[in-house]
Structure 1
Amino acid sequence: MSRRGKATKASLAAAAVTAASVVAPAVAHAEIHDVQLTSAFDRMSHDRIATFTLKAKSSDGIVAVDGTAVNPPAAAPYAALRFTLVDGTDKDGTWQAALRADAEEHPGTNIVQVTVRSADGSTSSRSGGFVDCHPTSITDVGYAPKTIDIEHPDVTYQGRVMVRKYRDEPLEPAEGATVRAGNGTARTGADGAFTLTATDPSMSVSVARQGALCGATESTPLTVVKEATETTARLVSVRPTRDGAEVTVHGTVMRDGSAGPMPVSGLSVTIDYQEGTANTVAVPKTSGGTWPTTGADGTFDASFPVTRSGRLLIETPETFFLTGGSVDLGTVDLSRTARISGLTYSPRPLAYRGSLEVTGKLVGDWGAIAGAPVFLEFSTDGKTWARATSGTTTAAGGFDFFAADAHTEKDGYWRVRYAGDGLYKPLVTTPTFVDVRYGTAIAGFNASPEPVKKGKSITVKGQLFRYMDKKLPGPNAPVSLYFQVKGSSKWTQVAVVKTASNGWFSKTFKATQDGTWKASYNGSAAYLASNKPTDFVDVQ
């Protein structure tokens, strides 16, 4: 347990009776319903009987309720349970089963898996369980010294671990139990006694649940004399980059030791960089994505990226033995950096010779950049770029480009360029690839005859077109056919047909019920998905 955690005193009475209710759907048929499984177990009674109660309903009647017990959860069953009807009827009743627990053979979590079967063969499964262990306590606890500091951290703990197996029996020693306090551990002797020393102590001594023993914790409050720390730091460099700047800082953390200032090693230091009005915490790149840690000499170094001018603070945390501290390095002033936010390219994929809309917002360190010229550029290989169109940002810094026709005939890369001005640096956005595909559409879709007599044939047909430089039939393409029963919201795929050389497709079905037919071409690497025409047919 963490030394900062609040110690809790173990209570034997609180561990005496446990009850659980678990509802986990695993139903094969919907016929069995309102299933609930509960368990009750008094771990301090002599009979040590766990009782399981199942309630369920079934219009056809429940014919069997069976269960198995496992421990641990993935193990093979160690006991079988036969539930008997104790109240109600087989259509709405209560069934019970009993299991004699054995904390020595099956300690800890015991899971009972129950299967309910009805007369029509449907089943429903539920799981319940109980925790079996003997209530444990830590007595005669002593520890010394009770006042510690960073130079004298060792604490020796002693006491006894006792267990009560039944409510009407006295405590008895728990031999061989593992006891922990901070980073110290020990095992109890035949009389339940233990002694251990922790070089990194805690405010409690504890026994985790182990074997047939329940867990227990006893408070061991310590008085900690904290030493003050002094943190110094300086800004080493600010290296401008296209996207902002890389800031490097160097610092030292010392403590007021008994013999004078001493370096603090292994302490995680926080870099807090407040950009504008938003408090943004920067992660040092030199630490693999973690905060820098002081070395043996108490020093630390960190480099991290920023995009705006902001305030830089170095903070050292308060620890078990040390006070915290901070250093305010003031404002880091950067040249104004422009950026584009909310950049979108739509639609993607793009229809051949369709219209590509590009939107975004040009902003700087102090907000929107209004009235600025921006350019939309295109490249087939991501290397050689051509200007597609241009525009000027609005008062809110927004821009909205439309590119079409010759610029959208090929797959390619798109980017937005801002040339910059006397206040802001130029920028170019990361290229975005846009896939161009030919458009498609299904025309002449029809399900006939309408109406149709039940059991007769119904033919579903239509024609697929592909839009290249002109409208052309779509040959040899898979078209999916779907049917939706009247009154339902679910579509069911009933066939996939290939189009003929003229784009036509056709499929005959047996009419069974009213409903709506739908066709869909789902597209490919070269073609967009089609529309999804529908046709309702009345079956009489």
Structure 2
Amino acid sequence: MLQRLRVTAFAVMIGAGALVALAPAAASAAPQKPVEIGRVLISPASPLDVTGGPVTATFTVFTKNADKATLQLKPPVGVYTSIGELTRTPVRDWVKWTGTRKFETSPTGTWSYLATATGGGQEKSASGTFDVVVKKTLDTKFASFGVRPREADRGDVVKVFGRLLADGKGYAGQTVSLQFRGRHSGDFREVARTTTGKDGWFGDGVRIRTSGTFRAVFAATAAAKGSVSDLAGVAVRRPNADSRIDGFDARPEPVDKGDRLTFTGTLKAERRDGLAGQRVTVSFRAAGSSRWEDVTSAVTGRDGRFWASATAVASGWWRAEYAGTRGVNGSVSDADWVTVEQPAPPPAVSRADSRIIGFNAYAEPVKRGKYLRFKGRLQIADDDGWEGYSGKVGLYFKKAGSKKWEYVKVFRSGDSGRLYVKARAWDSGRWKFVFKGDDDTYGSSSRTDYVRVTRR
């Protein structure tokens, strides 16, 4: 009896162990549900008509029990390539996967697709075909082609623009070659490549270095015929030359109030010597003032030199200014300070008469730009006759054909009254000495002496 109890207990223990061993298997996960894939939808539907330009198609794949989906496309001639990552959207028991692809006018024909769904070690796929077609060849032409601005400085950027039409409508997404031919060149060359936008408009900036002509060219495609625009010209302006005023001088310095000041200088420009026939304005700024006022003006001669005069009123700065002309920029000279002194009151006693004798300008004729020498003698009346006198004497010049005497320079005679000075000669004309007098003597002038200036 005891033996049977032991056998029964052992059997019960074995049975319990068997149940324990079987427990993990009974608790394992349920089998993976089968992966399913539906057909691929294409919008717009096949055939995709690219006659009017590129078309973007949307591909949709429906799957069930899949973790991932991919879509590959193969052109009429070529291999499968992925369209990229698909967008996942749950739809009840299914999942919708979407992606897009842009189709051009080439290549056309029958394309293939391969959709694949994977999950839990399972894989399902769906395949098929669709067509990309050009229904007819479009007639193209350019409209509103032009360049702006039509005149530009060398190195500026001009905008070349226009519109490409296909069968009378704007043709978007097309490549247009912008070509240029220089004024002295026989061939067009491509200077830019651009793409038409909405309604066929296009435009691009081109740096211009010479005058010439632009055109736009559209090369023929499977969907459209080629075309060439009308011509649009552009002119390159020559850059303005800079000018300058050399040697501006206001004299004499100092000067008595009410006396005349003479202004001289030379107007020059780049790539030229003197700039002739241009008006130069002489301006004055009084001491303590910040304002310049125009006082007088002069027109430059053949070599760009100018002469002008004005009455001395107050101490201050003088300068010459050129406003510029077509092709030449304006300029302003350095400023020249002149001190104006109050003239001495008239003498209480009578003054002696004066005279200048023996005036002579030599050697003559003289080559242009060379020095002339001037001599004479300043004398004053004395009880016993005439005697030499030391005084301040000015040299003056009047150009042939002119009515105006121009101040040249001032100097002093010796104690014996001897006068000697030299100055450059630029034009033919008359010369003279002028003694304005002083507290003891009246002023006087010499005779005039004509000197011819030669160019060689």
Q: Greater RCO between the two (CA within 8 Å, min separation 6)?
A: 2
TM-score (norm 2): 0.31
In our comparison, the structure showing a higher alpha carbon Rg is 2
Q: Which has the higher helix share?
A: 2
